[in-house]
Amino acid sequence: DWDIDYYYNLFIKDIGRNPTNVECFDLSQSNSEHSRHWFFRGKLIIDGEEMPHNLIEMIKQPLNLNKGNSAIAFRDNSSAIRGYDIRTIIPENPMRPSPFKKQSLNYNLIFTAETHNFPSGVAPFPGAETGTGGRIRDVQATGRGGIVIAGTAAYCVGNLLIPGYELPWEDRSFIYPANLASPLEIEIQASNGASDYGNKFGEPVIQGFTRSFGMRLPDKERIEWIKPIMFTAGIGQMDSRHTEKGEPETGMLVVKIGGPAYRIGIGGGAASSMIQGENIAELDFNAVQRGDAEMEQKLNRVLRACIEIGIKNPIISIHDQGAGGNCNVVKEIIYPAGAKIEVRNIQLGDATLSVLEIWGAEYQEQNALLIKSEEIGLFKQMCAREKVPYAVIGQITGDGYVILHDEIDGSTPVNLSLKKVLGDMPQKTFHLNRIPQTLSKLKIDFTVKDALERVLRLLSVGSKRFLTNKVDRSVTGLIARQQCAGPLQLTVSDVAVIAQSHFGLTGAAISIGEQPIKGLLNPASMSRMCVGEALTNIVWAKISALEDVKCSGNWMWAAKLHGEGARLYDAAVAVSDIMTKLGIAIDGGKDSLSMAAQVRDSSGNTETVKAPGTLVISAYASCPDITKVITPDIKKPGESRLLYIDLGNRKNRLGGTALAQVFNQIGNEAPDVDDPKLLKRAFNAVQELIEKDMVLSGHDRSDGGLIITLLEMAFAGNCGMDVELGVRSSELGVNNVAIASLFSEELGLVMEYLPDNENEIMSILEKSSVPYQVIGRTLQEKRIKITLKTHNSELITLLDEDMISLRGIWEETSYQLEKIQINPECAEEERKNNLDRKGPDYILNFEPARTPAALLERAVKPKVAVIREEGSNSDREMSSAFYQAGFEVWDVTMTDLLENNITLADFRGIAFVGGFSYADVLDSAKGWAGVIRFNKKVREEFNDFYNRQDTFSLGVCNGCQLMALLGWIPRQGIDDKKQPRFIHNISGRFESRFSTVKILKSNSVLLKGMEGSVLGIWVAHGEGRAHFPDEDILSEVEEKSMAPIRYVDDNNEVTTRYPFNPNGSSRGIAALSSPDGRHLAVMPHPERTFLKWQWSWMPEEWRENLAVSPWLKIFQNAREWCGE
């Protein structure tokens, strides 16, 4: 009613005419709740009393008290904090092929987070991929342009109901709506969509969470994520000179860059603001966008080229196109100056689109820019080099109006004052009520062992291998810590860490805190626990200071349903209060306030099912040294001890915990942060211990409680532990006390340390008034022993179990999901092979050494061309690796070669990089190979290079596949029908692994001196299985030692067993070399493992003693060969 009254008065009383249909659609989308956040900015009246602040004002209060390192907050597509002065390499001229030059720059750190819930419920795969794509564009569109580095992803769904795998807490009588995908389908397909988009774009996903929940509460209300959460966040960086957007000035050009317009994403802004089921199902489906990661990747290259010009960056301002399409993004970028837009200048992929559809469709991979007219020629050159469409769609007028003109009929479908429809719009008022809750005390009628077997299977607690196996976690080569840790690469990491450059150790840490089930009991407690969890996760990376922690706050709530708005308000008050006390702040975020779905039973009765009100706190902070990161895997079994910091002051409340959920309860009292000052003191004390290298491993107490904290440390360390917990009182009964001690999810920390450091550790903790207990020791024996020491010193055994069996239960739900989404034989093989692994046994047969400074500083160096095609995504890490080996490294595109802008004649080496050239349409690298093979001039140039005796080539991943299709490996002259090539992985999906390979004796010049070494290396590909149509060729390869790198198992035996061999390659083949050794094609990624901190796991003695990563030698060998 408010909207109708406002727009009636605007048009009839103010403008004096009826709106056009395009204007009506425009305003319904661009001024929807999704786009304008009316509730968070609105006046709130609760139980008749007006609240002193709206939600936005309240959330901003901690930042107002501590701006500190904040560079951008609450006013752009992302937030930013001050970063560091860094050294990096940048192409000398981004408009042409040119050498990389080292530069000193100051880069700020960018963070953003958002959700794509409605689309992911309707069509999970495209919904999630466009959620990722839209969030990537938020990073790009920060200031005058941002550089994308890494992402996070999360999924909250209803009961999974996995066929043949009954979980006793899931109610199979629940009915689900036909217009939405099932929770199981969303969990798999949404994560597939987000993963696929990131894989193809070249953005690693390095952190996340997932939950499954559906239950009738004691008051009989059904709460479930029928409308799911698809959450995505991203971290990047920006040249500090580009922090502020420029203001629109008369004469500036309004430019759109990216993919053409299609009839997709129509009405998404409004549809996302509704309860699922209120809209017509067909309209919901039409409102879902579709993704094209390759186009976004090309778009990203143009933006990065502009950024890396530095002070001459032609971009004055940039905004990403998302909800509302042009309706929204154009008005935002021209505000307040106004512009005249020519609708027919917008590039179309479908000529049948109406003006309304062109203006309102949320077609993806599009950004809007302001560029001065004199700079458009420069911008055009960049777009041409990267093969990206762009269009000048209008010009800034300065009259304050958005005017959409149609040159075909001379009409003006939109003519609106920006001030009236975007600027000075009146505040909305919301009348809310509190409603009393019906809660029941948690009933404990089970043993520790019974509880543990259930809790280990809960999605939020157990292994997330089914998610991490399929998403690239290493691309960019800037990842210092991702989800997996330890020799077995288990999904237990608390914090993710990125580097700002391959040439330094500064970076950023990110963490997540979310506790939605506790919010069903007390939304204020939930908020405080979210903040606490984010901090007890990020604490394991040494950051610049606690006060430098900034956070994104993302709110997913059915806020307009009875009672929920008041609960959201209470949650916001609590988060503002605790952040103020801790000295940290929220600097951005998003809200999604229609988190409910309608369900109709067979009788036609409708029930509105709310999702749990959810707050996700994403914390980020600058890291002065990215190597100072503590992981949860136990490092010194049999030598070390365990120390426990209880931040819950022994309260051990069980409401809203994993334990409660798996027994179909929620309890009546949630864990809470009663003492923020203690949390602050503990945080700083642990940071001091990390700085002094006194912590071997560490983990926070969270989902599942202390018992899960301890078990995950043992699981990841592949060892056992002997733990003794002391209690002050056993009045409630030993079993109840044991359950509460082990399964409560109050905040807490567990650290592994060596006895020699015990006194200093205790001194630091005592100095900070941080309570602690030494609770046990680690064991080499793979057994978990937990005893309870009562107040009268009686020892009671709570658990004495085989670690391997418990780890198998922890892996079970992930396995059940894995066998649905991949070749089930592979899932079963991994389950068996991982059950009792001993871990990799690396061997180093040479001494890795830094490249001498004299070689790095030479005026004349051998030249290597790092060649990329559209869709390539691994060129920067490849360039850095060659640069650090002493090469003059050039950035060369296939367009450069096709247009005769460069020749290969002057190069000693070429590197074909990884990625998804042409999005792997027609199979991996076929499009790229076709460009070379079917262009006579280019084909001859490459052939001449191959046969020159003073050249070498390296192809990695997509480049490896390309070299096979070009007939470069194993040798030239093989008939196409017999040519070895790399085909789809036997698992049937993209594989992301930190695998073990062995380097065999060969004549490969790049592997000289590395023979016999067994090393860890990143793997990230979907088509890496070496396939030999002709067995005679395979025999020749074996006889002539042309397969010099092989996948091996934990016994260092060449293997085809999954997952040691991640793709099923014949005879474990991971690389092929030419007969003369000059040309090497490798499926794994040495360029993402050439720095020690890039390794996901490395033996402690290597980490302490090696000067550099062993894989740097490949690139050093190439340079040495060039000098021979």
1112's tokens:
């740097």
The confidence score (pLDDT) of residue 694 equals 98
Q: What is the pTM assigned to this prediction?
A: 0.96
Residue 273: pLDDT above 60?
no
CA–CA dist 892, 221 (Å, integer)? 61
Radius of gyration (C-alpha) of the chain in whole angstroms: 29
Q: Give the list of residues 6+ apart from residue 103 with CB closer than 8 angstroms, or none.
A: 87, 88, 89, 90
Burial call 844-868: b when 16+ CB within 10 Å, e when fewer? eeeebeebeeeeeeeeebbbbbbbb
Place of tokens 């040294």: 625
Q: Give the list of residues 6+ apart from residue 1105 with CB closer than 8 angstroms, or none.
A: none
Lowest pLDDT segment from 268-282, 304-318, 890-904, 1033-1047: 268-282
Q: What mean pLDDT comes out for the span 1020-1033?
A: 97
Q: What mean pLDDT comes out for the span 697-708?
A: 99
Q: Where are the alpha helices (DSSP H) in 1043-1087?
A: none
Do you know the residue count of the chain? 1124
Q: 564-609: per-residue pLDDT in tens?
A: 999 999 999 999 999 999 999 999 999 999 999 999 987 889 999 9
The confidence score (pLDDT) of residue 267 equals 56
| 3-class DSSP state of 752 | strand
Compute the half-sphere exposure of residue 488: CA atoms within 13 Å on the CB side of its CA: 29
Burial degree of 8 (CB within 10 A; 0-12, 13-18, 19+): exposed
The confidence score (pLDDT) of residue 275 equals 57
Q: What mean pLDDT comes out for the span 110-121?
A: 95
Closest CA to 237 of 687, 628, 623, 625: 623
Residue 288: pLDDT above 70?
no
DSSP string, 142-205: STT--EEEEEEEEEEES----TT---TTS-TT----TTS--HHHHHHHHHHHHHHHHHHHT--E
Closest CA to 237 of 591, 510, 540, 536: 510
Q: 711-743: per-residue pLDDT in tens?
A: 999 999 999 999 999 887 666 788 999 999 999
Clarify whether 1085 is annotated catalytic: yes
Residue 31: pLDDT above 90?
no
Options 957, 960, 1023, 1120, the catalytic residue: 957
Q: Which residue has the higher pLDDT, 275 or 382?
A: 382
Residue 836: pLDDT above 90?
yes
Helix (H) or strand (E) holding 133: helix 124-140
CA–CA dist 719, 806 (Å, integer)? 12
CA–CA dist 336, 252 (Å, integer)? 13
The confidence score (pLDDT) of residue 423 equals 79
The confidence score (pLDDT) of residue 34 equals 66
Clarify whether 50 is annotated catalytic: no
Clarify whether 116 is annotated catalytic: no
Burial degree of 606 (CB within 10 A; 0-12, 13-18, 19+): exposed
Q: What mean pLDDT comes out for the span 132-142?
A: 96
Q: Which residue has the higher pLDDT, 535 or 275?
A: 535
The confidence score (pLDDT) of residue 792 equals 83
879 in Cβ contact with 89 (< 8 Å): yes
pLDDT band, very low/low/confident/very high, at 556 (cuts 50, 70, 90): very high
Provide the mean pLDDT of the chain. Answer: 95
Phi, psi for residue 12 in degrees, rounded to 5: -80, -45
CA–CA dist 1054, 1056 (Å, integer)? 7
Q: Give the list of residues 6+ apart from residue 79 with CB closer than 8 angstroms, or none.
A: 70, 72, 73, 110, 111, 112, 550, 552, 587, 588
The confidence score (pLDDT) of residue 537 equals 99
830's tokens:
């991994």
Residue 689: pLDDT above 90?
yes
Lowest pLDDT segment from 444-448, 652-656, 789-793: 789-793
The confidence score (pLDDT) of residue 280 equals 53
Options 699, 1087, 1120, 1122, the catalytic residue: 1087
pLDDT band, very low/low/confident/very high, at 282 (cuts 50, 70, 90): low
Q: What mean pLDDT comes out for the span 147-164?
A: 98
Burial degree of 754 (CB within 10 A; 0-12, 13-18, 19+): middle
924 in Cβ contact with 961 (< 8 Å): yes
Phi, psi for residue 1069 in degrees, rounded to 5: -70, 125
Residue 172: pLDDT above 60?
yes
The confidence score (pLDDT) of residue 264 equals 81
Options 564, 826, 1085, 1120, the catalytic residue: 1085
Which sign does the torsion angle of CA 610, 458, 615, 186 carry?
Answer: negative
Supply the angle between the helices 523-538 and 564-582 in degrees, to the nearest 10: 40
Closest CA to 1077 of 997, 991, 1002: 1002
pLDDT band, very low/low/confident/very high, at 944 (cuts 50, 70, 90): very high
Q: What mean pLDDT comes out for the span 250-271?
A: 82
| 3-class DSSP state of 280 | coil
214's tokens:
């559906």
Put the strands of the sheet holding 991-999 in their side by side order.
1014-1021, 991-999, 1045-1047
Q: Using CA atoms in the order 388, 393, 398, 401, what is the torsion angle rounded to 10 degrees?
A: -130
Domains of the chain from N-terminus onward: 1-30+245-425 (3.90.650.10), 448-461+628-821 (3.90.650.10), 840-1123 (3.40.50.880)
